[in-house]
Amino acid sequence: MPFGKYKDRFVTDLPVHYLEWFQREGFPPGKLGQQLSTMYEIKTNGLEDILDPIKKKYRWNRLQ
């Protein structure tokens, strides 16, 4: 996340209440807004397990 309270966190790690706020107030334009909107749908529909392979890959790369 490039700004705000959750700056420097992965979009996958944002809490649902923060994503719900964006849903109510409006997602930012562009790629970030699209990513936040997608993450909102994933989390509110209980589909977070589909993110596990992606999280493992990018967390590993970040630690190296």
What CA–CA distance (Å, rounded) separates 27 from 35?
9
- Residue 23 maps to a domain: yes
Q: What is the total residue count of the chain?
A: 64
For residue 14, pLDDT beyond 80: yes
CA 36 to chain centre: 5
pTM recorded for the entire structure:
0.83
Q: How many domains does the chain have?
A: 1
Mean pLDDT of the chain: 91
- pLDDT score for 60: 63
Range of the domain at 21: 11-63
- Residue 31 maps to a domain: yes
For residue 62, what pLDDT band results from cuts at 50, 70 and 90? low
